[in-house]
Chains A and B, each alone.
Chain A
């Protein structure tokens, strides 16, 4: 069964450093998403992406964040200058289309630790 994959599983970085989190969505899916979950808190939406454009983003997704589809298979989340409060699990998801009845499938997540 096809699944969303994410690398690395755990990323440790120093405050102020740039990090790139990588995701490989399910191959025939066209919409891609990033969510995050701070330890002990709710899963929060960050951004949705379609046709090389952001279709929706939350207030969390500020200028420090960017997303890219660098090739036909990868989808990345970049944090330019990490802060301590960026420490969280980051989940990538994908769906066939972006309609309300298209379920989103999540990857296993990347645990980001900012020191």
Chain B
């Protein structure tokens, strides 16, 4: 799996958009970008994933650059409940390691009142 680089921490004012960056410069053409988050010691929560196109769901938007070397997760209106560690994960399409999610250290997002 390609490695990802995320800032260790970020702050965001409540009600503002939170933009979480991720660098995955060695990503392969068929590898997916996933975002999960973990609140305290709860189980990781799936947020969104994408391959090439930008994606949006009820939780967030995922913007993937044209060269696919980086992406941004956008939480449009952050609330205090969005305070969590956010993980950007690149998942292999096939072969060894394709079944697993490889978690890094993620970005600790703190939403401030």
Q: What is the interface of chain A, defined by CB distance below 8 A to chain B?
A: 4, 31, 33, 35, 37, 42-45, 48, 55-56, 58, 89, 91, 93, 98-101, 103-109, 111
Contacts and interface: CB of A to CB of B under 8 A. Distances in A.
A109 B100 contact: no
The A interface, classified by DSSP as helix, strand, loop or mixed, is strand
Nearest to A50: B99
21 contacts: A31-B99, A33-B99, A35-B44, A42-B103, A43-B44, A43-B101, A43-B103, A44-B103, A48-B99, A56-B99, A91-B43, A91-B44, A100-B30, A100-B93, A100-B98, A104-B101, A105-B46, A107-B43, A108-B42, A108-B43, A109-B43
Interface of B: 30-32, 34, 38, 41-46, 49, 51, 87, 91-94, 96-105
Instruction: Count chain B CB atoms within 10 A of each CB in A4, A104, A108 and give the residue with the most.
Output: A104
Nearest to A45: B100
